[in-house]
Structure 1
């Protein structure tokens, strides 16, 4: 057997690297491939799974041996071995064979571990703080207590001591909360998750986390400690904020279980039960919207270590486990991923210091301070400044975004909150003893830890800033769910925002697991008659109108998001899992609109939200277009999972006919002659072929009528530049990209944007700030142009007839005055890169194509000029096939590898 250069790398289970605690009983295994050779393919694979590294290396006592499978498949290979039990640790590797039959060495081992698969595996119950005050701690009063006009209670502190009399081989901690929790063992914090367990509809599903805590335990006495926060469960959530059970529950509770395996094979569990003790401590209150108040004088040194005197503590309330499903967290969770140093500090008023972080972000600030005991330092967080240099907070509405720290009076003190988050560019500090140094405040960036997967850069500093703004907006708004804003009293999972941005999101970061989690939330919120909702998770009693009826372009997220995840990651399980929910949605729409025009107002209809033209685009036109789009996507997903899709193909054609009769004129004019009307008609394939060019011309005329500016809102903005480019007007798309006058991306950047604004006119030179009723400076919807930067400017794309980047398209569209552009993307099959530059009429294109894929490459060849690769005529280049040579470009087919092409563009 010959050795292969081809080798498997980047092993994943359920879209994640070495996940700890999963509850998929047939977990899916995937890998990418690497090779220094061109045109490498996988012809076969063999997966081995064992209970430990030694057994895997020796290929003995295997849980599963797939055998040698003749297949090029490397995505979503389902485990097919013996049934996996709760807590089972599985070590696996894969060997592959190349196209000539050469075998690789086994990959480096990867790991996945099962969580608690049976409800009977949970031994304890939900515990909460006992009744009455503890020790000398008194509840907060006055302004601190009455945040948002409602009472906020101190955070409960919970503890339990236990003994271990033998040496520990292995220990796992399973933990969750109704609310938020932070847990420790022997004084050491467990894990790096924050705001755990994340947001779900706690009435339908609660996530738990799994931690390897073997190294934290010791023979003899040990102690478990936990602190709880109200979080989404019992705190203020959404606009028209309520608490005290208005949404989910009235007080936070903990559920935890420590499973210990001794070296001699014996096992023991420590669970949340009536033996725990409770108190309150230095956290006077902690709320996602209000912020946190912390009195360091109330700290209890050693409270979470063995031997602490807890006679003044109280018992706990205990509730049964209940019937709500407990599920293993399927994504990466929320973490603090970066620190940002303050760039400047000013004093607009006496004793008021404003720190400029240089970047709008989400998370909190770490405070460093020295002073006398009892000194209260207050931090308020804001995205913008008033003209006088004070912080602008009107757009926060009722969200206070305020953290208060009371010093204990020791040497240097360091504080950061636990159970809150803020959206901010500026931190106002008052009460600081003396003059605060620049490093008194450090920003802590917090978001769902979706791994970075892509990057884009070009020769335009403004466009690079736009890409940075898009990524920062994604980081700030992907916090357990895809939220709509991170600062004001809302922070809801608006479905329209998510579907508009999901493709851009998937290029910037690996969001497969993140959206798999959120699609479970989407189905949890679906109404009994099939409607997907406007916000997910659903908050009943939140003051939002008709949220059981999904609005056009919002409810359609229930189709568009799983389709995008399927296309991007080759994930058919998300389609199978939610297929029935999708078909219920389609039936719901059809029953309400038998004439195939989506005119029945089933709930909200936001139209092209926040378009500078207002409601100029007919709402029923947009609604009908989205319904047709849904039908097309469901038809494709049906075929992908072996279901009958012909009915949905027919539905698409019938809606298309109805759309044309109702909204399209014989000369290709659409609806009210708006940019967004043309964009959705063209993007969603709703026009007859003979009218597409005419409609595109009308679109360009509509842009010219706005002095070559866009007028699209949330719905149209992401499709605008791709539609123009596909229709042969890349110069118009670039003109919109490069604009720096209102409305444009460049205008926001010129006026200080470091994230994407909610609205084009969030601040204008003529009018200042928009209405504080709705004016977020950290949204992501209008950043959906990021997809165009990757797919069209850099030219890194996927064949629309495939999924998971099995067939790649490299087709850059140089223009807009750019001298170069580059994108890299870590696809599920490996890294793809496209980098081009122009000097004079010389066009250079370097690409990387991962093994086991093919690519169609378009190289400019103006005037029929020849193309070279690696210094040779392309006809003689290894691994390159010329498909056709046209007047302005060559179309090439390549296998995997690194290629360097040279062509010609018009001067």
Structure 2
């Protein structure tokens, strides 16, 4: 038997991989952090994967050892936790139940498992390290900064503030055994030790409402620092902390103050003694470094003539630098950052460069993206290179920037004039495909530019390809759009003066995204952002963190709080997401009931079915009452749906039994009132018969059973005949449209919507050159006030439909986290082949099917320690072969559901042939 390899996936959820019985090891990596340091969860969750070429493998027991040192663990001396042999099939989210862990404790662990096919050896060793667990351990560490403007700085609509360069020489008198640094740098920081940048993260840390919570990052400096003279250096940028239009619109946008930092460097020496270096007034800084301006909306100005050679190394003369001052802390509680920072995740080369009549150059990256441009240039000292960013061009070939509002989106590089110079910004990012470049004294070459794609360091876990080229491009557009808008939180757009974490954009979108990216920690963090933004009386904002003071008290937007928690449970088996937030969600539900429930209907709605296709291609929001869905219909039906989820949550966490009864009672009242007011039993329609008005009660199970099919057929007529097979829903209706059509037997109509190339459709975006998803169905013609070309909110449930209904990769509600997989593709929707993969917590799930005439060939892979319920489109057992064997010889649990055979398969790879 072979030992395991290490796979660290989450900071708070350490993963190991176990090899089973002579299997060649498969190396899995997620470079989130170099080490899982800074965990501030007292009971981390442990998970592992079984990798084997054997079929039908089920875990029957596990044994976990946790020790305070690697040496002890190697000797099986588990001084922190010895679980003993635990009879269980649990291999994800296993709670640590050992001794209480203290701040900065290291925990080394390994596991072995017993399966129905034999036992493994002990895995290789994995490590997690605790963060700083109490405020008391931070309070002696002073926040330092300098609350003052300097020459060139301004505060206003276009605030400007230079970066602050900070340094501290330290002398260590003994040989270093271990060193860790704990840093909070607001708004953004870069950290250096002896001239070397620490970590590959960018734009760190992730944004929060700094008055509520502040994230710290932890790095292992053991091999970076040594006995003798050393220098700690940091650059502080502005980020969301400063210069984000706060002073321009203080009634709307929160203000946090000037950049500041707090840091502890804890050094353990070879003799066992320790020393802690903390931020204080002896640290020095200068605002007169090369980064003269850095504003997320407006860009970065870098003057290479002002570079400070060796400023972060020993021997540098800082006698003219100023001393930092003790400053007020941001107010938020320090928390270990449990989700990865952003990183340069990809690089792309431009496709073309074109000279304009005015002597500038237009660079086409060939792809709408979020990040920045690295340039290579030669010139004289003082020459100025400017880069202005946009998503598209006007007819005359110049940049189209009207949709960016007042964002200046311009980076400026001033040459020092010393041969070839290579530069990229540090504290900004842009959403762009095209760049106008000016200032070159010669015609630049394509190879002088590189696009750096920046988003959260999240693993891509899903692939999808099918027989329809339009659908494949839509998937690619979704992939680029989603990763463009992961910025430590899910934002709406990466380009204009907004970039806000709107709840409504991700109510269902987060679910679809989870099939493509391992977004568990991102959305777990976002639930905390929402919780921290809740008002004392229970209200929840429209954006969270609440950088904008928008508290609209809607249901369809704020309901994201509950829907995202459900996604984390369903897709990742993350029960903690429900346990940690249940009381806050319950408080919000009660708040909405007390404030807005009138005659058993929810009366408050703010945004309607946002962005329905309008009656004119030039306008943003429809005024046609026949296209618009009554806000009370939206909020009442959605609130009913959320009550069902709260009932589910109450059962999952064993909440007070009265909660379930209360949810049931209120649900029935709302359903009764809703149907009484809005259901027309003669026309089998709801309200004014928009598709959204009908799809929501159908999706949520509110329609009386005897009328369900007729309401559905009425909705189909509206789509198929009235709308001529085109989409007519906005953000809310689109979240449930594709799955509801398929679940009621019209996957072919869902396919038509997914593959359309005429307006309005996702394919229309593709036909018109989109490489991401637009904010508006008519994003190429609408008023520029609101037509971002890189949004994801209109995806609705499309990506869920791709995976669950076309590929047949769905997590069972009874056994979440893909412990049991529901594999039920709609083979008759219109596709002739689908090839999809999804890397679940248990391992890789694959579904590849090809349909030719009356023959179906379907290959599936089910990971170890899981099973699948497989649906094939025949009721005749004799027509099904699995791995060339009769179905009865492979599965003993076969039943018939309508025109499908349903049977269970254990883990393994299978080729299913159906005549």
* TM-score w.r.t. length of structure 2: 0.93
Q: Does 1:876 align with 2:889?
A: yes
SS of aligned partner of 1:853? strand
2:509 corresponds, among 487, 492, 501, to: 501
Q: What is the distance in 2 between the residues matched to 1:398 and 1:323? A: 30
Partner in structure 1 of residue 794 of structure 2: 782
Q: 1:8 touches 1:33 (CA, 8 Å); kept in 2?
A: no
Deviation at 1:840, TM superposition (A): 2.4
Deviation sequence 1:249-268 (CA, Å, 0-9, x none): 23111111111111111111
- Mark the CA change 1:241 to 1:786 in structure 2 (over 3 Å): closer, same or farther: farther
Q: CA contact under 8 A between 1:740 and 1:747: conserved in structure 2?
A: yes
Aligned residue number for residue 352 of structure 1? 360
Aligned counterpart for 1:530 among listed residues 511, 531, 538: 538
Deviates more, 1:689-698 or 1:376-385: 689-698
Equivalent position to 2:640, from 597, 616, 628: 628
Q: Does 1:842 align with 2:855?
A: yes
Match of 1:797 among 810, 820, 825: 810
- Structure 2 counterpart of 1:491, from 474, 487, 499: 499
2:515 counterpart SS class = helix
Match of 1:187 in 2: 195
1:274 aligns with 2:286: no
1:848-859 alignment, distance < 5 Å: 848-859=861-872
Paired residues for 1:371-450 under 5 Å: 371-450=379-458
Q: 1:803 to 1:371 in 2, by over 3 A?
A: same
Residues 212 and 481 (structure 1 numbering): CA distance in 2 closer, same or farther, change over 3 Å? Answer: same
Q: Distance in 2 between matches of 1:16 and 1:103?
A: 21
Q: 1:59-92: per-residue Cα shift (whole Å, max 9, x none)?
A: 1152111111111112221111111111111111
Q: Take 2:589 and 2:159, find their aligned partners in 1: how far apart are those partners?
A: 44
Shift of 1:179: 1.0
Residue 828 of structure 1 corresponds to: 841
Match of 1:326 among 317, 328, 334: 334
The answer to whether the Cα contact below 8 Å between 1:881 and 1:894 also exists between their aligned partners in 2 is: no
* Residue 746 of structure 1, CA deviation: 0.7
Q: CA deviation at 1:696?
A: 1.2
Q: 2:719 matched to 1:703?
A: yes
Q: Distance in 2 between the 1:738 and 1:648 partners?
A: 39
User: Which residue pairs with 1:316 in the alignment?
Assistant: 324
CA shift, 1:835, in A, is 1.0
| Structure 2 match to 1:606 | 608
1:384-411 Cα deviation digits (max 9, x unpaired) = 1101111111100011111000000011
Q: Report the equivalent of 1:574.
A: 577
The CA deviation at 1:338 is 0.8
Post-superposition Cα deviations, 1:190-224, rounded to whole Å, max 9, x if no partner, equal 11221111211111110010001111112211111
State how 1:57-68 maps to structure 2 within 5 Å.
Answer: 57-68=74-85
Counterpart for residue 900 of structure 1: 911
> The residue matched to 2:514 in structure 1 has which SS?
helix
Distance change >3 Å, CA 796–CA 241, structure 1 → 2: farther
Aligned match for 1:715, one of 723, 726, 732: 732
Matched with 2:160 is 152
The answer for the alignment partner of 2:347 in structure 1 is 339
Is 1:670 the counterpart of 2:669? The answer is no
Aligned in 2, Cα 1:505/1:870: closer, same or farther, shift over 3 Å? same
Q: CA deviation at 1:861?
A: 2.8
Structure 1 pair 130/674, CA: closer, same or farther in 2 (3 Å)? closer
Name the structure 1 match of 2:29.
none
Pair 1:12–1:430, CA change in 2 (3 A): closer
31-40 or 276-285, which moves further after superposition? 31-40
Gaps of 5+ in 2: 16-34, 616-621
Q: Determine the C-alpha separation between the residues in 2 that align with 1:301 and 1:8.
A: 40
Match of 1:639 in 2: 651
Counterparts in 2 of 1:200 and 1:9: CA distance versus 1, 3 Å: closer
Q: 1:241 to 1:699 in 2, by over 3 A?
A: farther
Match of 1:35 among 52, 59, 80: 52
Tell me what 1:766 maps to: none
Report what 1:550 is aligned to.
553
1:321 is displaced (CA, Å) by 4.8
Comparing 604-613 with 278-287, greater Cα deviation is found at 604-613
Which secondary structure does the structure 2 equivalent of 1:216 belong to?
coil
Match of 1:660 in 2: 675
Deviations 1:103-156 (A, max 9, x none): 2212222211111112232342111148686xxxxx33xxxx679744412111
CA distance in 2, matches of 1:746, 1:451: 27
Displacement of 1:691: 1.5
State how far apart, in whole Å, the 2-side matches of 1:363 and 1:507 are: 23
Which residue number corresponds to residue 902 of structure 2?
891
Q: 1:14 aligns with which of 7, 12, 26?
A: 12
2:102 and 2:133 in contact (8 A); partners too = yes
Distance of 1:887 and 1:688 partners within structure 2: 22
d(CA) in 1 for partners of 2:9, 2:252 = 43
SS at match of 1:388: coil
- Aligned equivalents of 1:414 and 1:23: distance in 2? 39
Which range moved further: 635-644 or 623-632?
635-644
Cα pair 1:5 1:36 within 8 Å, conserved: no
User: Does residue 1:213 correspond to 2:221, yes or no?
Assistant: yes
Per the TM alignment, residue 7 of structure 1 is displaced from its structure 2 partner at its CA by 11
Deviations along 1:846-871, one digit per CA (max 9) or x if unpaired, are: 11112222211011238776100111
Offset of 1:587 from its aligned partner? 0.7
CA contact (8 A) 2:214 2:333 kept: yes
Distance apart, 1:320 and its partner CA: 5.5
Shift, 1:816, TM fit? 5.0
Residue pair 1:563, 1:633 contacting (<8 A) in 2 also: yes
Pick which of 3-12 and 835-844 moved more: 3-12
Q: How far did 1:323 drift?
A: 5.0
Give a deviation string over 1:338-357, Cα, whole Å, max 9, x none. 11111111113232111111
Q: Which residue of 2 aligns with 1:105?
A: 121
Unaligned runs of 5+ in 1: 134-138, 764-768
Aligned to 2:772: 755
In structure 1, what is the equivalent of residue 785 of structure 2? 773
Distance 1:497 1:598, change over 3 A: farther
Q: How far did residue 586 of structure 1 move?
A: 1.3
Q: Which residue of 2 aligns with 1:690?
A: 706
Mapped contact 2:14–2:128 kept (Cα < 8 A)? no
CA distance in 1, matches of 2:553, 2:565: 16
1:892 shift after superposition: 1.5
Q: 1:294 is matched with which residue?
A: 302
Shift of 1:897: 1.0
CA gap 1:307/1:840 in 2 versus in 1, 3 angstroms: same
Contact 1:234 1:247 in 2 (8 A): no
Q: Which has the higher mean CA deviation after the structures are superposed, 27-36 or 373-382?
A: 27-36
Q: Is 1:237–1:490's contact at 8 Å kept on the other side of the alignment? A: no
Shift of the 831–653 alpha-carbon distance from structure 1 to 2, 3 Å rule, reads farther
Is 1:235–1:242's contact at 8 Å kept on the other side of the alignment? no
User: Compared with structure 1, are the counterparts of its residues 693 and 901 closer, same or farther at alpha carbon in structure 2 (3 Å cutoff)?
Assistant: same
Report which stretch shifted further, 521-530 or 29-38.
29-38
CA shift, 1:594, in A, is: 4.2
Residue 246 to residue 840, structure 1, CA distance change in 2 (3 Å): closer
Counterpart for residue 67 of structure 2:
50
Counterpart CA distance in 2 for 1:6 and 1:114 is 24
Distance in 2 between residues matched to 1:673 and 1:684, nearest whole Å: 17
Contact 1:10 1:31 (C-alpha < 8 Å) held by counterparts:
no
